[in-house]
Structure 1
Amino acid sequence: MKGILLVNLGSPDSPDPKDVKKYLGEFLMDERVIDIPLVARTALVKGIILNTRPKQSAAAYKKIWWDEGSPLIVISERLQNKIQQQVDIPVSLAMRYGSMTIKKGLQELVDKGVDEVLLFPLYPQFAMATTETITVLAEELRQQYFPNISIESVPAFYNKPDYIEVLSNSIKSHLENKQIDHLLFSYHGVPERHIRKSDVTKSHCKIDGSCCETPSKAHEFCYRHQCLEVTRLVAKKLDLKEATYSTSFQSRLGFDPWLLPYTDRTIERLGKQGVKNMAIVTPAFVSDCLETLEEIAMEGQEIFHEVGGQDFITIPCLNDDVAFVDLLSNWINKWTNTKIETT
């Protein structure tokens, strides 16, 4: 019997600093998030970050926390429930970090008689700190606790035409009847070394002005290429004029080089250059969360207004939008009988 395990990032159980500290500890100790030797990672995370950051992050979570709980969790549960109504096989939900573990999600499916699992990371683009850490952990859990099941993973879907159409239509609908000078595509940032580590050719990714546009096998696992490709495909779909849109990367941590340009500095630059009305969309996320609701919608807007900007429109993630639910349900229904296409 087949079943689906949707997997998103995760969230603290509450915005209390103790719960935030526990969550951040698990998240930041992941070797695919902070990819440095264990001794150095432990010293950095437990010796420095967890002594300062939990209070700051807890304050940010409190700003965006809903009565029902964490926005990311609530939205993901809504998505799961709506998909379940459109498919005939069990659909479970798990988080990579936090109390809604992948192990619990797999167990839930096994208890329903599932022995073929479609692992569905809710990330359009591949990254070692998102998709890869989910698939690696799921396989480790399968070997240790669920040896009688098989797991197939959904590949990155950043360039699938039906996804681009849904994303483009969402952006278009939220900008209808609005005068926008600039549309910014903001993606979650990663250290540059993650791009090089994910390069299966070991030579293509130079993070220069051309490697992401030059065809290569490396693109299958290149987060930067896939982000830029989403921007390009959506801009083409919406017939956006050159210079009226751009790409940036947010949420950097530490002092190592991260993907450029940075979102906060881009917002500031656009405002100083005279952009009065801008919109921002975050296509690395399918569910609104701390990074979209607080970092972008609140902090980003504040930066824009400080430099003279006027209207700052934050376009919601796809969340549990009907078209997105239909899209994922269609993919799942196809897999129920065959397999999802990878191109």
Structure 2
Amino acid sequence: MKKTLVTLLAVLMFLSMALPAGAVGKGPNYNGNETINDSRLTSNEDLMAQVERAAERSDFMELEIIGQSVKGRDLPLLKFGTNPDNPTILFLTQQHGNEVLITEGALQVIRSLSNNRRQNAELAENVNVFFVPRINPDGAIGDVDFDTSDYVAGGLATRTNANNVDLNRDHNELTQPENIALHENVLQAYDIDYLVDFHHQGARSAIDGELVSGSILHPTNEGVDPAVAEMSKQLGSVMYDSVEDRGWGLLAKYPGGDANTIARNGLAFDYDIATLLFEMRGMIDNVNESAVLGQKSNGYLIQQAVVSMEAAIEAIADRSIEDADTSFWDTLETQSFLPQEEEGE
């Protein structure tokens, strides 16, 4: 375990030197001069090829297709470690198709876990790590059946799925095939202990005018088991510390509501899963151009995702998450959204 952390820290130190000036810490402000180079982002075909290779390469991974999207694209579930006696964490990305950098981070973690090295063998003996790395593939590539001219700026991706439904507002009614697959073939089929629901938000959200790189929030709806709520706060503590301690960003408390239709609340209530919303700056496309971050910002945001995921995995594997200090939630400042920004979740 310790060697894994040392190796990760060494990689992060190298990346901090290799990234452009301003690409660490709180990151560069959006200045209108950055452009998204979508050719550097993972296509849906490449994503499927990567998860297939990871499962074939690894002694500890299995690939399961849990269903298909509206347009018939496969929805993969990649499972690292399958011992039902071990705690399980699920990383869920891209409910919103235009929120892509988290998926890039998840793919990096998947590649790292696919090596049959001793550290990964030890992890697999102590924790199960599940990935649903792109639950909205149709929205991710903009293959939709509605007019997007008033919705996105560049036509790269859409927030909603092909039926123009926000998947993160459909966790009660389950009208969409993507959510039906997630609930029936993952949440009801496996004993999930922790779930991180990753999103992006407006690029210039702030605490008292100071730009943040992301925000987090535990379940806030009534009826959640107090033990589950505490586990959610512990998960937030581990991931918050991983970002803050390394200087990769400034995280705030997300000003979210208490609706059960969203994953953060509904899944904690319905399945007793400790959930955490983790939002990061920047989207690949948005009608508000200031919400879109360019290539200069991509690197440090992807590494923020990698660092926080790795920290959660390690803390669950060695059970140190059970001692995580949750008192920081009492003083964590709530972010604000600057004018004309789109909120996340």
- TM-score, normalized by length of structure 1? 0.28
- When the two structures are superposed, what TM-score results if normalisation uses the length of structure 2? 0.28
Q: Which has the higher helix share?
A: 1
For the pair shown, the structure with the greater C-alpha radius of gyration is 1
